[in-house]
Chains A and B, each alone.
Chain A
């Protein structure tokens, strides 16, 4: 990888201008920048997710707005804001940026990422979104406390803090409703659960639509998995299903392609062919869902290349101003929409090595 990196950095100039030429001077969107990110040794898991998030417009706009606020003490979000800001304010339209500050901050803040190993892009996405949300909530709490000190009223603090959603929640958070029906007394109990992304099991030769339907399929809890029914006051067989009750603005779908193999004592990759359309609606919504038939458009896909979670490579394809781009660390290419087909996965079960969609980002049309 390093050799290739060196080679590509040498080619940087030609590559970048090739992209500009490929898009065409008239077609090149105003105020848009396509910048590759330098790999600091297996940091493609990070680069790929950052690129995907950068092209989730609501997320980018909020991060840039955060940057515009007054200077704060350095944290992961300020580093992210600096990075996004530096991409968005480049003079050139295309090029390469080293996300150095962000990476070193990430390594400082979390031991998990403080090494040169390949990490799981989904784990990183989760960590990043939660950390950003925590930072925002913490800041808000600080502000409130400062305000309160002036007013001298310190009251019902805990409740408010928990409930207050941040813009991360506004963008990514949806709600699942988990319904359980006791097969003895027929009582249905339901519990709501918030999510920032959905992790779905994958099957060979299916669509993401089917995987989502499966995600919400009714399952029966029986034998050792019986459910404790409060009405019956005993363990009973029950039926359980999980449906989407509130649809997020950006639906992040994580395909569970890494499966632990008991015999091998390690994870293996499921390279199944799972097709994902450019437009999506959900079928697995609960009847009382808000906006249950909203239309989603595919905006970004984090693709895993290789045979296992701790090896291989991550790249990202994004849709920007009507065309598709492929971000492979520092390399950016314009691709045909038809080329997305190459990232569905493999129909043959023999090969584990594939370039297949791993995290899909769908943005709501309204």
Chain B
């Protein structure tokens, strides 16, 4: 025991160092110390027992190129600043708006991106005593207060968001386990609302408000047991993912108020949730210290990730690394060399996933190389980045099984080459016919937001796949064959692969129409005792699905992390002490130093 203690202490010191930069295969991310936002006095906020610091951004399109605005809450204060990002140092002396609340604390906020202009923004703020305020921090007005008398819900507001595409509707979740749909134009009435059941399902109910004149709330959703910790709208705004303290992810069709699918954490409450940019995957994090990846189409868990040492407080997809915006092939060939490096890198790292940047090309219709990037931050003060690669997304062969058996006694990690390499083979075989075929141009409306994203088939990618193929080709093939033979013994696996087929077939159909039969089956399955979910699709056993390892896992703060937002040229994180940090993406650091010409580059990075 003594030995282990000493070892832990030695290692602990090293890990207690707070990182100001980290490297992924795309390059070095650097903390811009001059771009730190906080309370004007820059004093760490004594955070014990207060609400998490949260950050909201809005772009007011003021044509100056400085349209970004940031809002954050610290304790009982709320700040609104111009956000200069990687371009200029933050000026904390002049907040555009600052509010200090008494008796109740701001817990969360959201800007309406549709209505934002240089002269006016609509910011919703939720409070610890249940109220919701609509304010305009540019005009410095308080437009409206909802649930003022706390007749609708007395518990803490956990999440507030504008309904996508709406200038007037917003949704508010509370720690009571309910959420409410409001319209800014309606009043909340002077009496407690009377409700009428609209729809009821397994562990949820939706009520309408019964009253002569239209009043708030329009709808009341009761979801699961315990606090409703967070919700997120799908990119197309049609679905709503909710995570609760009872450990369940529940995905609803927002308009029809029907349950689409559910998932249960390995144990403990789920605290955060997000959607992939194309709406195909949902990632949730929680009190099991894990991130869980759930397929929207198949309604099943496809992977879990272990990297955090404590509860996961925020998960977010990196839209910019998940999908490099449509670009012409010339640009691809220019980055050919990078790709070689990346492959090399991916090999050297012991990460379970093979690294490949996904790129999108509108002329292709089948995914050849798909990588989603997402990040997570937690109460362990660590930032983790994860790659979701096609060997996880499209397990043609149930290879993942072999990889998850991490043999602790073995000093090295299990060979990633076996898993990811042969995953590559699988996908190449599986997809080649499609890629060579004609463009099904209609299926990829490049401009609309919720496009099926991973349509990449640029030459470098095929080369990458081929390269990895040849490196470990024969051995991988042998392993793959062995495993697949073994796997056919189990009914469970066959079913999974069947699902996978469905999934493929539905690729071009858009995800809404594709859920039909699957959904019915799954709904029937969810009617199980929550305590006995282990081993079902709701909560597979650890050894039955792939376990991801983080690409990077860095301690970046003294305090619990509460914010993670991926922006185009930076990553924004914030901790409970009230410091909002900007991490420049690779190659984006120079912007700040070149504009502050007097400053040497050393001023930007420590």
Contacts and interface: CB of A to CB of B under 8 A. Distances in A.
B481 to A, nearest CB: 25
A293 B541 contact: yes
A210 B310 contact: yes
Contact of B534 (A216, A293, A346): A293
With a 10 A CB-CB cut-off, give which of A201, A205, A275 has the most chain B CB atoms.
A205
Contacts of B287: 207, 275, 277-279
Contact of B267 (A179, A216, A277): A277
Given A209-B288, A209-B289, A275-B379, A342 B49 contact: yes
B11 to A, nearest CB: 10
A341 B289 CA distance: 16
Interface stretch (B2-10, B106-114, B192-200, B578-586): B2-10
Contact of A281 (B266, B381, B411, B576): B266
A115 interface: no
Contact of A347 (B4, B12, B226, B560): B560
Given A293-B534, A293-B542, A219 B4 contact: yes
Contacts of B318: none
B48 A347 contact: yes
B247 A279 contact: yes
A144 B181 CA distance: 70
B442 interface: no
A206 B310 contact: yes
Nearest to A283: B542
Contacts of A347: 47-48, 558-560, 576
Interface in A272-300: 273, 275, 277-281, 283, 293, 295-296
A169 interface: no
Contacts of A273: 379
A74 B414 CA distance: 59
B43 interface: no
Interface in A166-224: 179, 181, 188, 201, 203-207, 209-210, 214, 216-221
Contact of B560 (A201, A205, A218, A365): A205
Contacts of A277: 267-269, 287-288, 311
Interface of chain A, helix or strand or loop or mixed? mixed
B429 interface: no
Interface residues of B, number: 39
Interface string B361-402: 000000000000000000111000000000000000000000
B309 A205 contact: yes
Nearest to A347: B559
A91 B236 CA distance: 61
A337 interface: yes
B598 interface: no
A262 to B, nearest CB: 12
Contact of B5 (A181, A201, A338): A201
B409 A188 contact: yes
Interface in B522-570: 531, 534, 541-542, 558-560
B3 A205 contact: no
Interface of B: 3-5, 7-8, 12, 16, 46-49, 175, 226-227, 247, 266-269, 287-289, 309-311, 379-381, 408-409, 411, 531, 534, 541-542, 558-560, 576
19 contacts: A179-B409, A207-B289, A210-B309, A216-B408, A217-B408, A219-B3, A275-B287, A275-B311, A277-B269, A279-B247, A281-B267, A293-B541, A293-B542, A338-B227, A341-B49, A342-B49, A346-B48, A347-B48, A347-B576
